[in-house]
Chains A and B, each alone.
Chain A
Amino acid sequence: MAHIAGRAGQVDAAAEVTGIRNWTLTYSVDTVETTDFADSGVATYLPTVSRWSGSFDGLKDGVPLTLGTSATPITIKLYESQTASQFWTGDCFITSCDPSTSFDGAVTYAYNFQGTGSLTVAAA
């Protein structure tokens, strides 16, 4: 099993976002409880819809991204490395931008996004 260093990551939100240091993606599926008397006190569930969302952050390097206030999503690519297909991609809306400044630090931007539609999973 090949391990991958994260330092060659990248985030594209329509275009490459420079200054980024981290990204996180949550890809999950909702469940509905189906426990009944026949389950003898052990809970059971069934999967329903999947969803995905996440965040990325880093140093300010240019103007901040525009929030996704229109109905048209942007394509996001979350690169694990620079190896072909080793990224997660789908359409999303940028739902928040959190700029931060401290007197003894650098100006940083943090973003949250909400995926819409299917998510293409990264290659091995």
Chain B
Amino acid sequence: MTDSMNPVATGIWNKLKADATLMSALTGTLTNGYKCFHIIAPQGTTFPYITFGQITNVPIGTFKNLTAIEDESWWFNVFSDVGSKDAGDILDALTDVLDDTTLTVTGYTNLVCSREYVGGIRYTPETGTYQIPSRYKIWIDKN
């Protein structure tokens, strides 16, 4: 874990829960955690929801500062039990929020938040759920 992981996770969560379109698609409210969860959804959470987490953190260093910029990769998963279209609609809302946005990250300045890819939709018969993975590159500059 890096120093920046929790502040970035909080910045992502704040950004997602502040978007009315995404919250409408997820039926997110304060009481259900806005249906956006770091790493894993709590047991009993109803679909749809989003999970996200850090994959890698690679510092970009200089002579003066070995961690001048933190180059991070974050994964996102959209889950829906309605159908592939519903999962796709939530993904659209998610990418509308995150593509080229500026996150508010305590202690850092967000330089980049850009989508690296969206993966293929995956259906899990045992749970009847549709999952769409995606990955973002996030650069932050320590204040």
Contact = CB atoms under 8 A, between A and B. Distances in A.
A59 B63 CA distance: 10
B119 interface: no
B20 interface: no
Interface in B112-127: 112, 114
Interface in A94-112: 104, 106
B62 interface: yes
Contacts of A68: none
Interface stretch (B26-34, B64-72, B85-93): B64-72
A106 B64 contact: no
Q: For chain A, which range describes its interface: under 10, 10 to 19, 20 to 34, or 35 or more residues?
A: 10 to 19
Contacts of B114: 104
Contacts of B66: 7
A18 B64 contact: yes
Contacts of A92: none
A15 to B, nearest CB: 13
A106 B139 CA distance: 10
Given A7-B66, A21-B61, A106-B111, 16 more contacts: A7-B61, A7-B63, A8-B63, A11-B63, A16-B64, A19-B62, A20-B62, A20-B63, A21-B63, A58-B62, A58-B63, A59-B60, A59-B69, A104-B112, A106-B60, A106-B69
19 contacts: A7-B61, A7-B63, A7-B66, A9-B63, A10-B63, A10-B64, A11-B63, A16-B64, A18-B64, A19-B62, A19-B64, A20-B64, A21-B61, A21-B63, A58-B62, A59-B69, A61-B62, A106-B111, A106-B139
Interface of B: 60-64, 66, 68-69, 111-112, 114, 137, 139
